[in-house]
């Protein structure tokens, strides 16, 4: 069966591209949306993930408006938020921010929320928010110092990337591992299939 519907990923994240590839899906276009991700006052982490994923999806939809090459495409957006209680951790660009996040996560449990938002060809928005609970070991000063030196924390929600060195910090994980990486595959594929995106035909083509 010929594959006819295109998928736009409203993200430039290599991790999300790799995760989709793992599920046999290759976006036809990457369309990263640069938005203000500052939480609103008293905004719950789950609400923030949901809001930002929808805002990215809508921004991508606006960006392709009037372009016949992309009319009728699916648009997939996602946003990942790491929190301890209601305290939302940053996606740090500064060593000091990453250091503070790692000290806070040390020896504690935290939650990772990823909001996914799919715009269908008829311009309906479908959303889900996935929740994973992660517990870190108690990090030594050398653990933190060496991890900061690795640079793997830069721009990552909560100041760590579970698919890298920080995977060795995880004592326990309850929920979706791919959610913590940045895109919950099970839920994403189910959402695409449920809205008529031909995932299985792409497997046959591969």
- Cα–Cα separations (whole angstroms), residue 27 to 30, 75, 152: 7, 9, 25
Q: What is the pLDDT of residue 4?
A: 66
pLDDT band with cut points at 50, 70 and 90 for residue 141: very high
Quick one: how many helices (H) and strands (E) in the chain? Answer: 7, 7
pLDDT band at 2 (very low <50, low <70, confident <90, very high): very low
Active site residues: 79
The answer on pLDDT for 206 being more than 80 is no
Helix (H, G, I), strand (E, B) or coil at 132: strand
Give Dmax (Cα) for the chain.
Answer: 56
* pLDDT, tens digit (0-9, with 9 covering 90-100), for 85-122: 999 999 999 999 999 999 999 999 999 999 999 999 99
What pLDDT sits at residue 205? Answer: 67
In this structure, are residues 41 and 48 in contact, taking their beta carbons and an 8 Å threshold? no
pLDDT at 13 over 60: yes
> What are 32-86's pLDDT values in tens digits?
998 999 999 999 999 999 999 999 999 999 999 989 999 899 999 999 999 999 9
Residue 181, CB half-sphere, CA atoms under 13 Å: how many?
Answer: 20
C-alpha distance from residue 90 to each of 62, 84, 181 (Å): 27, 11, 16
Which domains can be identified in the chain, with CATH numbers? 7-195 (3.90.950.10)
* Higher per-residue pLDDT: 4 or 178: 178
């Amino acid at each position: 069966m010929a594959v006819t519907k295109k998928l736009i990923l409203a993200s430039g994240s290599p991790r999300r591209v790799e995760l989709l590839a793992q599920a046999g899906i290759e976006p036809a276009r990457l369309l990263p949306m640069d938005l203000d991700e500052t939480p609103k006052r008293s905004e719950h982490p789950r609400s923030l993930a949901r809001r930002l994923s929808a805002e990215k999806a809508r921004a991508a939809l606006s960006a392709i408006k009037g372009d016949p090459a992309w009319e009728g495409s699916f648009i997939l957006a996602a946003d990942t938020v790491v929190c301890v209680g209601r305290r939302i951790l940053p996606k740090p660009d500064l060593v000091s921010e990453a250091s503070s996040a790692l000290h806070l996560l040390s020896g504690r449990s935290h939650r990772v929320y990823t909001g996914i938002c799919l715009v269908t060809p008829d311009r309906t928005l479908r959303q889900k928010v996935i929740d994973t609970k992660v517990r870190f070991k108690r990090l030594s000063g050398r653990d933190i110092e060496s991890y900061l030196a690795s640079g793997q924390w830069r721009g990552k929600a909560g100041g760590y990337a579970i698919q890298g060195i920080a995977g060795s910090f995880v004592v326990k994980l309850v929920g979706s591992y791919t959610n913590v990486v940045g895109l919950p595959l099970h839920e994403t594929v189910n959402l695409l299939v449920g809205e008529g995106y031909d995932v299985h035909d792409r497997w046959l083509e591969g």
